[in-house]
């Protein structure tokens, strides 16, 4: 039997080391602090960690402005601490994925400094220059409203030329078409793979492969870069995984994934549709999202409800965007870039435990690898007084002690203050309190993770959306060999009774994997069930007549 890749039945946990746990009392989270919390993560049951950038950085974009690819920012520890961490994670069977930020560097990176000072430097061609910026660049900044005029070319007086940047002006784009730049990227990957990481989250993959030079044609095969990343990664470490940030049109996404390139794609399409289904309390946006992706196969997705950036709903229809904004970001201060929401999940759902569970249950039952943003497992909130995308990046809330147990430093010295006071403050929402409460969200998420990890039908099976006779109920079946998981989620607060065309044979057995639905009946291969508002159920069906795939 073919071995399934580990990530198909995995749960990934995204965290920012400097917001997680401070072991030294200097107000910044660090690697020794993260090591102290590995048992927490192990008990939660996550299979892999995705570490946000931790490299030396001027830190003007949460570390996504890297000035040295071969080190650890001194605020977070040393390279030795990093290796200790990888080792300690490995001992617990937890994989480590790190952010590979090579679409651009910091303007403080020595390559850029050399490039601007010396036109004959070999580093000049590491970046993208123009004497005059194109009159119509055809592109705008990824951060409209934050970058003046949304420009993507900035004049550098030292270089006496314009350089290209899709992000902030302090993040010059690397010329990824230059073979020498590619060689640098392979070397960076090799370095971290040798230190034991299991793979990379490839930052801005969509932008890495676009034509950057003003006069460049789109290459015939822009994806060759991604294939070469994969082949270099696996030549250094068998099974190394690439998880790409590819926020692209659905029809383009097919090109990213494949046996010899990207393993997992962050599923922005489904994220927006899932959020739309929650906001509208209707099943059809979710069915539409899955339909858009159905051509691409089901096993390449990393699904999420929230990540540490804005929640991008820009690819939904304008009418649906309005509905989502009205429900989840009614105040303009909750929105960003005209396309996004700068909030965490729990406050968007008004802290309603039933809805939060519903949202996680959907996330975990949809084919693909679920990803959790640190703190969402306890229902952390956001701090909207912080600028840009920072509101969702406040420190992890461990306890009701000073700074939420994140750091012993005076509050004014902490990297960002922990959220204090109110419904989502650390006094109310913290790990310690939820640990000792058997009914807490944390303990429920822990059970959900365990259930998902053992449900290989979801991780590796074929998905089919099931017809139902209720517009608020989303039902689907994940089938693998001779068993299936059938799920029904009632998105609305009104009770709903539905009939699912489940095509069960009389010989099949069925039991509830998740949920406490008391009204379920089988008739002629159909399932009839009644769900309370926001209720959901996962049913495990063992079916003699399913076609095996092995
Ligand atoms: C990351 C952002 C970051 C940007 C620039 C994005 O792909 O997700 O958080 O600001 O890259 O590096």
- Return the H-helix or E-strand segment holding 522: strand 520-523
Task: Kindly state if the Cβ of 203 falls inside 6 Å of ligand 1.
Answer: yes
Residue 263 has pLDDT above 50, yes or no: yes
What's the confidence (pLDDT) of residue 245? 96
What's the confidence (pLDDT) of residue 98? 98
Task: Kindly state if the Cβ of 310 falls inside 6 Å of ligand 1.
Answer: no
Active site residue 184: no
What's the confidence (pLDDT) of residue 550? 42
Q: Which has the closest alpha carbon to 62: 80, 76, 79?
A: 76
Distance in Å, CA 185 to ligand 1 centroid: 18
Distance in Å, CA 461 to ligand 1 centroid: 32
Task: Kindly state if the Cβ of 99 falls inside 6 Å of ligand 1.
Answer: no
What's the confidence (pLDDT) of residue 215? 79
Distance in Å from the first CA to the final CA of the chain: 7
What's the confidence (pLDDT) of residue 545? 56
High-pLDDT (> 70) share of the chain, %:
98
Cβ–Cβ under 8 Å, residues 81 and 89: no
Q: What is the C-alpha to C-alpha distance for residues 320 and 280, in angstroms, rounded to an integer?
A: 8
Complete edge-to-edge strand list for the sheet that includes strand 496-500: 496-500, 526-531, 520-523
Pick the residue whose CA is nearest to atom 5 on ligand 1: 64
Residue 297 has pLDDT above 90, yes or no: no
- pTM across the whole model: 0.96
Task: Kindly state if the Cβ of 245 falls inside 6 Å of ligand 1.
Answer: yes
Label residue 298 by pLDDT band (50, 70, 90): low
Distance in Å, CA 199 to ligand 1 centroid: 18
Q: Which has the closest alpha carbon to 301: 332, 335, 266, 329?
A: 266
What's the confidence (pLDDT) of residue 548? 47
- Closest atom of ligand 1 to 64 CA is 12
Task: Kindly state if the Cβ of 16 falls inside 6 Å of ligand 1.
Answer: no
For 94-110, the pLDDT digits (tens) are: 999 999 999 999 999 99
Residue with tokens 């060999």: 481
- Closest atom of ligand 1 to 308 CA is 9
386 or 255, which is more confident: 386
- Return the minimum-mean-pLDDT range out of 275-279, 377-381, 428-432, 542-546: 542-546
Q: Torsion-angle region of residue 18: left (phi > 0), alpha (psi -120 to 50) or beta?
A: alpha
Task: Kindly state if the Cβ of 535 falls inside 6 Å of ligand 1.
Answer: no
Q: What is the C-alpha to C-alpha distance for residues 135 and 385, in angstroms, rounded to an integer?
A: 37
Pick the residue whose CA is nearest to atom 1 on ligand 1: 203
Active site residue 549: no
Q: What is the C-alpha to C-alpha distance for residues 304 and 269, in angstroms, rounded to an integer?
A: 10
- Return the minimum-mean-pLDDT range out of 303-307, 434-438, 459-463: 459-463
Distance in Å, CA 64 to ligand 1 centroid: 6
Cβ–Cβ under 8 Å, residues 348 and 424: no
505 or 392, which is more confident: 392
Widest Cα–Cα separation across the chain? 77
């Amino acid at each position: 039997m073919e071995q399934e890749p580990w990530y198909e039945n995995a749960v990934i946990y995204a965290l920012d080391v400097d917001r997680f746990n401070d072991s030294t009392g200097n107000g910044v989270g660090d690697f020794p602090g993260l090591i102290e919390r590995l048992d927490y993560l192990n008990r939660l049951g996550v299979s892999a960690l995705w570490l946000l950038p931790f490299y030396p950085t001027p830190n003007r974009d949460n570390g996504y402005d890297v000035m040295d690819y071969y080190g650890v920012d001194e605020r977070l520890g040393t390279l030795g601490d990093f290796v200790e961490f990888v080792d300690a994670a490995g001992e617990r069977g937890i994989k480590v994925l790190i952010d590979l930020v090579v679409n651009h560097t910091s303007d403080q990176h020595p390559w850029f400094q050399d490039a601007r000072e010396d036109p004959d430097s070999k580093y000049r061609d590491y970046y993208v220059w123009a004497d005059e910026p194109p009159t119509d660049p055809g592109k705008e900044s990824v951060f409209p409203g934050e970058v003046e005029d949304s420009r993507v070319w900035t004049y550098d007086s030292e270089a006496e030329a314009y350089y290209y940047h899709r992000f902030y002006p302090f993040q010059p784009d690397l010329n990824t078409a230059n073979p020498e730049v590619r060689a640098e990227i392979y070397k960076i990957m090799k370095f971290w793979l040798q230190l034991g990481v299991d793979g990379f989250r490839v930052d801005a993959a969509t932008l890495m492969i676009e034509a950057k030079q003003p006069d460049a044609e789109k290459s015939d095969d822009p994806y060759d870069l991604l294939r070469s990343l994969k082949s270099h990664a696996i030549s250094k470490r068998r099974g190394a995984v690439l998880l790409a940030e590819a926020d692209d049109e659905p029809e383009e996404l097919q090109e990213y994934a494949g046996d010899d390139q990207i393993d997992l794609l962050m599923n922005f399409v489904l994220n927006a549709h899932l959020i739309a289904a929650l906001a509208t309390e209707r099943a059809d946006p979710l069915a539409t999202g899955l339909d858009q992706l159905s051509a691409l196969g089901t096993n390449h997705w990393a699904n999420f409800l929230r990540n540490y950036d804005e929640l991008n709903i820009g690819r939904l229809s304008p009418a649906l965007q309005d509905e989502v904004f009205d429900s989840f970001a009614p105040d303009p201060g909750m929105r960003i870039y005209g396309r996004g929401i700068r909030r965490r999940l729990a406050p968007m759902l008004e802290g309603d435990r039933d809805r939060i569970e519903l949202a996680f249950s959907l996330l975990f039952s949809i084919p693909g690898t679920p990803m959790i943003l640190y703190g969402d497992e306890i229902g952390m909130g956001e701090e909207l007084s912080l600028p840009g995308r920072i509101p969702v990046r406040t420190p992890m809330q461990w306890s009701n002690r000073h700074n939420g147990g994140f750091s012993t430093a005076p509050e004014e010295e902490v990297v960002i203050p922990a959220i204090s006071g109110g419904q989502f403050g650390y006094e109310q929402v913290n790990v310690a309190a939820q640990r000792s409460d058997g009914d807490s969200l944390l303990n429920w998420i822990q059970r959900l993770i365990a259930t998902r990890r053992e449900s290989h039908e979801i991780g590796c099976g074929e998905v089919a959306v099931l017809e139902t006779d209720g517009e608020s109920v989303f039902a689907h079946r994940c089938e693998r060999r001779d068993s299936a998981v059938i799920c029904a989620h009632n998105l609305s607060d009104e009770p709903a009774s539905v009939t699912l065309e489940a095509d069960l044979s009389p010989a099949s057995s069925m039991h509830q994997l998740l949920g406490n639905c008391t009204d379920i009946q089988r008739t002629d291969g159909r399932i009839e069930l009644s769900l309370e508002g926001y209720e959901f159920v996962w049913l495990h069906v063992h079916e003699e007549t399913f076609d095996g795939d092995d």
